[in-house]
Amino acid sequence: MGQKVIATARNIERIRDIEQAGAAVMTVDVTWSPEKLKEATENAIKIYGRVDYLINNAGRVYTFLIEGALLINVFGVLNVTRSFLPHFRERRSGGIVIISSLSSRQQYPGIAIYAATKAAVSRIGEGLKDEVEPLGIKVLTIDLGHSRTPALKPDTNLKRAAQVIPDYTPLNEWFDDLRERTAGNEPNDPKLGVLRIIETITQSGMAADRKVPARIILGADGKEPLVKRCQDTLEQIEEWSDYFVGSKVATSIALAA
């Protein structure tokens, strides 16, 4: 599509193939200090003279290490975004994409920590859009479905907690079985996913003549859970409608004699 790309990774050797395809590459760790990220941002801007779109795609599927999950999945997104906002504000243009997850809407046992980090950045993205859209800056949050990447391969990505509570053995076994059945059989093509994201933030292709949404699901496995979640919410509203107003401040009218 003609875009000029700056790809970043903690280990730059892992993205040499992207460099060979024509992209510029940089070593960046989203857990760096804000000062170091600001320096990396300035160096990135110098490569092509400007940056039009920031894609926040770094993340780890931690299921047990709360601090690590928050540091990468939440604070990493916040700090990298903050480092680019002055550039976008000065130009009164630009776009920010936050890659979240379908798990931010649909909970699975065993990944509550990961899902919480993704729910956090999804809401951050929605709020940020309201704050910077008047400045000409677009913000798009993608709740991504399962894509066919190495993310679930145990030989490269699986790390276990040092201690496992015996009571949770059935849950761990269920999760391992789910991962084994899912790995390599994910329903979504990551290359097509990237294309759809580019089209959405640039309002082209399938997203031509459409307003950039604050938040949207991307994935063949996303529509059905979203519809069910909406239906469940509507049913709860109907069933508990009297409860919702159960804490309303009582009002009274005193009439003078």
Whether 114 is a known active-site residue: answer yes
Nearest to 140 by CA among 157, 152, 128: 128
Which residue among 62, 83, 114, 122 is the active-site one? 114
Q: How many Cα neighbours within 13 Å face the side chain of 227? A: 5
Cβ atoms of residues 19 and 9 within 8 Å: no
Which residue among 62, 118, 122, 138 is the active-site one? 118
Residues whose CB is less than 8 angstroms from the CB of residue 110 and which lie 6 or more positions away in sequence, other chains included: 63, 171, 172, 174, 175
Is residue 188 classed as helix, strand or coil in its secondary structure? strand
Beta strands in 164-237 (DSSP E): 215-218
Nearest to 196 by CA among 221, 212, 215, 218: 218
46 token code pair: 């110098």
Whether 62 is a known active-site residue: answer no
Which residue among 53, 83, 100, 129 is the active-site one? 100
How many angstroms separate the CA atoms of 157 and 106, rounded? Answer: 22
Q: Which residues are catalytic?
A: 100, 114, 118
